[in-house]
Amino acid sequence: MSHMQIFYKLQQPFFDEEYLVYGDPSWDKEYGRAEWANEVIVETIKCPVYPSHQRAGERIGNLVILLPSGKTADFVWTWYSDCLITDRVLRLFEEAKFTGFTVKPVEVKLKDQSGKELIAPPVLWELVVTGKGGEADPRSGIRQIYACPHCGLKVYSSFQDGVIVNEQTWDGSDFFTITGYQFIIVTERVKNFIVEHTLINCVLIPSQNLVWKVLTRPEDLYPG
Q: Which residues bind Zn ion (CB under 5 A)?
A: 47, 50, 53, 148, 150-151, 153
Q: Are 199 and 74 in contact (CB under 8 A)?
A: yes
Minimum distance, C-beta of residue 46 to Zn ion, in the bound complex (Å) = 9
**CB closer to Zn ion, 90 vs 151:** 151
Alpha-carbon distance of 178 to 175, in angstroms, equals 10
Q: Which residues on adjacent β-strands are paired with residue 20?
A: none
Alpha-carbon distance of 106 to 87, in angstroms, equals 11
**CB closer to Zn ion, 53 vs 111:** 53
Minimum distance, C-beta of residue 222 to Zn ion, in the bound complex (Å) = 12
Q: Which amino acid belongs to residue 63?
A: L
**CB closer to Zn ion, 55 vs 88:** 55
Q: Are 111 and 35 in contact (CB under 8 A)?
A: yes
**CB closer to Zn ion, 71 vs 150:** 150
Minimum distance, C-beta of residue 153 to Zn ion, in the bound complex (Å) = 5
**CB closer to Zn ion, 45 vs 103:** 45
Minimum distance, C-beta of residue 43 to Zn ion, in the bound complex (Å) = 15
Alpha-carbon distance of 224 to 222, in angstroms, equals 6
DSSP, res 140: G
- CA distances 112 to 8, 85, 91, 115, Å, are 35, 21, 29, 9
Q: Are 107 and 62 in contact (CB under 8 A)?
A: yes
Minimum distance, C-beta of residue 201 to Zn ion, in the bound complex (Å) = 37
Minimum distance, C-beta of residue 55 to Zn ion, in the bound complex (Å) = 9
**CB closer to Zn ion, 52 vs 168:** 52
Phi, psi of 115 (to 5 degrees): 70, 5
